[in-house]
Amino acid sequence: MPNPSNTAPGSGFIDLHSHTNESDGTLTPFELIKLARQSGLDALAITDHDTLNGYEMARPEALRAGLDLVCGIELNTRMGDDRPHSRSVHLLAYFVSGPPSEAFRKWLEGERQERRMRNERLAARLQSQGIEITVEEVEARGRSLAGRPHFARILIEKGYAHSFEEAFRKFLGEDAPSFVPRQSRTAAEVIGIVRDTGGIPVIAHPVRLELDRAEERTLLHQYRDAGLLGLEIYHSEHPPALQAHYRQLAEELSLMPTGGSDFHGSIKPDIQLGTGMNGNVRVPAAFLQRLRAAV
């Protein structure tokens, strides 16, 4: 298992998926840049959920540390209108030739507003089950935004659940009775919105689509026709056999390969920046060069 602290700078490795405490990670943007440097990464993309604040706050330190920092974001979308359960699809967007437009930022503010409304409904639904939790309490935990991981921490602290896994299974996850879906747009729509502002849309952790091979191919084909440009090959939840599968699929569909650990800090202690879970993530710098060459 590669030890990140033994990797020399200029290693040729990068990480294109990470979170700060501006969304649901636990490290500050400053601390994340420090860790990326210590881990010997040549480049890092900050891909917080629904906010660019972490990226913007990290910029001065990245410049100082000589780290190639990429502006990114992770957006919540749904599969489409034609599926009974309209499952959630996480879409990464990379802005490799500069941060996105004012219009896109306004759109993001709307997304955050929708998230706040979901949080209110979720708190109300939990209260109706006799759970003592308020939306104010949850929002106080998030910096730029609060989400279900912040709900989970409070549920654990108050003894309603013993672990994140239990909090999601019993209260917050898609199969829990108190689950509240977000009013998200389809992945195809959001792919268009990202392309319009000059971003590179990429499907995050495709393993979580939970589709069989034929359905997966059909869906990705449809997204590619909608403007999708990349597929996340390396991810902490992708064992080597799946990485090989997604690499081949990306090639067949002419999607650019990307990869990252999806580092969140101490709330996901098994995931290391740059190297993922048990060293299963190693993203070559050439992946970023390809993204840059595409714009």
- Rule CB under 5 A: is residue 22 a binding residue for Fe ion? no
Letters for 192-231 (x = contact with Fe ion by CB under 5 A, - = none) are ------------x---------------------------
| Side-chain half-sphere CA neighbours of 38 within 13 A | 10
Instruction: Give CA–CA dist 225/229, Å, rounded.
Output: 10
Q: CA separation (Å) from 104 to 68, 100, 190?
A: 23, 6, 11
Map residue 202 onto helix, strand or coil: strand
141/217 with CB nearer ligand AMP: 141
Residue 226 CA from chain centroid, whole number: 20
42/262 with CB nearer Zn ion: 262
Smallest separation, CB 284 to ligand AMP (Å) = 25
88/222 with CB nearer Fe ion: 88
Positions in 73-102 near Fe ion (CB under 5 A): 90
236/258 with CB nearer ligand AMP: 236
Question: What is the 8-class DSSP label of residue 259?
Answer: E
- Rule CB under 5 A: is residue 262 a binding residue for Zn ion? yes
Sign of the four-CA dihedral 191, 175, 152, 31: negative
> Which residue type does 75 have?
L
Positions in 48-67 near Fe ion (CB under 5 A): none
Instruction: Give CA–CA dist 295/3, Å, rounded.
Output: 34
Identify how many contiguous H helices and E strands the chain contains and give both numbers.
10, 8
The residues binding ligand AMP (CB under 6 A) are: 24, 49, 76, 147-149, 164-165, 168, 173
Residue 3 tokens read as 């030890």
Residue 45 CA from chain centroid, whole number: 11
Residue 15 CA from chain centroid, whole number: 12
Instruction: Give CA–CA dist 204/181, Å, rounded.
Output: 19
Positions in 140-199 near Fe ion (CB under 5 A): none
Smallest separation, CB 103 to ligand AMP (Å) = 23
104 binds, among Zn ion, Fe ion, ligand AMP, none (CB under 5 to 8 A by kind): none
165/251 with CB nearer ligand AMP: 165
Q: What residue number has its CB nearest to Fe ion?
A: 90
101/116 with CB nearer Fe ion: 116
191 binds, among Fe ion, Zn ion, ligand AMP, none (CB under 5 to 8 A by kind): none
Among 22, 24, 61, 216, binds Fe ion (CB under 5 A): 24
List, in sequence order, every beta strand (DSSP E) within the chain.
Answer: 13-15, 43-46, 68-78, 88-95, 200-203, 230-234, 256-259, 283-284
165/252 with CB nearer ligand AMP: 165
Q: What residue number has its CB nearest to ligand AMP?
A: 147
Instruction: Give CA–CA dist 249/43, Å, rounded.
Output: 25
Which residues bind to Fe ion, rule: CB under 5 A?
A: 24, 90, 204
Question: Which residue ranges make up the site for Zn ion (CB under 5 A)?
Answer: 74, 262
